[in-house]
Amino acid sequence: MTPSNKQSEPAHPAQTLEYPGDESRMQEQPHDEMADYKGSGLLAGKVAFITGADSGIGRAVAVAFAKEGADVAVAYLEEHGDAERTRTLVEAEGRRCLLLPGDLADPQHCRGLVSDVAKEFSRIDILVNNAAFQAPVEEPAELTLEQWQHTFAVNVTAAFLLTQATLAHMPDGGAVINTCSVTGLRGSKSLLDYSATKGALIALTYSLAQALIDRRIRVNAVAPGPVWTPLIPATFGSEKVQSFGTDTPMGRSAHPDEIAPSYVFLASERLSSYYTGEVLAPVGGQTMPG
């Protein structure tokens, strides 16, 4: 069921979770299983590698891709129960699913992930760099160098290393999709490092799109506004969680199921063969700069 556009406050339960967030413990479950989505074979026979696909946007994308006919490799940090649920959903569609836990802040792990996926499936047709780290601060003075470096390691460096390694296993005509954010387009006073990484990832998307044009590898991004995922109660205080998304013109946050079709569009050559270096921004009616 499609959520209504206006909700009375509070929008979400005042719950906080230990990072990185266990979806099964959320009082309000995100809609991220694409239950009413009907595939049409747009990705039949393809292999997709998705980071951060244990829950939230990544899970919804993994299930949507499976419903379109793709086998899926899922990278995640340590949320084993959530990842197993994703695998169950993918396999229910008759597709194969490989689970790969570990920390993307480790460059060696990033390269090893790609090798593992290629060994299992022999190729990678679609790469979705979706995993991300965020930790809000009250003021710039609170942001430590260690946090800044970690956020860039997970959100930007890992995306580049995974893309770089994947290219050796990606046929011409493949697709890379980066999960960016509305904060990369307009900034955020409490998510300084996160916003900076998402802006960098948008620039990387533009640059890789130009660099890979001769191989017909399309590189695009999705930059959502507020989306209800485990990351929200795991990184924000209860007051922020309660009002999360109410500042959008639609008056609510999105569910992952509403965002995942953007990834299907960008992954399918049939639908988006003339799209590269583009940023889709499902932001609930917010006006973007520029």
Cα 237 to Cα 167: distance, rounded to the nearest angstrom: 40
Whole-number pLDDT of residue 6: 52
Question: Model's pTM, two decimal places?
Answer: 0.92
Q: Which domain holds residue 260?
A: 40-280
Whole-number pLDDT of residue 10: 66
Could you confirm whether 206 is annotated as catalytic? Answer: no
Asked, for residue 289, whether it belongs to a domain, the answer is no
Cα 180 to Cα 149: distance, rounded to the nearest angstrom: 18
Asked, for residue 32, whether it belongs to a domain, the answer is no
Cα 287 to Cα 150: distance, rounded to the nearest angstrom: 30
Asked, for residue 105, whether it belongs to a domain, the answer is yes
Whole-number pLDDT of residue 107: 97
Given the residues 76, 194, 274, 275, the one annotated as active site: 194
Asked, for residue 149, whether it belongs to a domain, the answer is yes
DSSP string, 24-81: GG-SS----S-TT----STTTT-EEEEET-SSHHHHHHHHHHHHTT-EEEEEESS-HH
Q: Tell me phi and psi for residue 51, to 5 degrees.
A: -90, 150
Asked, for residue 25, whether it belongs to a domain, the answer is no
What's the domain count of the chain? Answer: 1
Asked, for residue 64, whether it belongs to a domain, the answer is yes
Angle, helices 80-92 vs 56-67, to 10°: value is 20
Asked, for residue 14, whether it belongs to a domain, the answer is no
Q: Are the beta carbons of 81 and 160 closer than 8 angstroms?
A: no
Asked, for residue 12, whether it belongs to a domain, the answer is no
Q: Tens-of-pLDDT digits for all 290 residues of the chain?
A: 456 555 445 678 767 777 776 777 777 778 889 999 999 999 999 999 999 999 999 999 999 999 999 999 999 999 999 999 999 999 999 999 999 999 999 999 999 999 999 999 999 999 999 999 999 999 999 999 999 999 999 999 999 999 999 999 999 999 999 999 999 999 999 999 999 999 999 999 999 999 999 999 999 999 999 887 777 788 777 777 877 878 889 999 889 999 999 999 999 999 999 999 999 999 999 876 54
Residue 93, domain CATH = 3.40.50.720
Residue 190 DSSP class: S
Cα 135 to Cα 192: distance, rounded to the nearest angstrom: 9
Cα 1 to Cα 254: distance, rounded to the nearest angstrom: 13
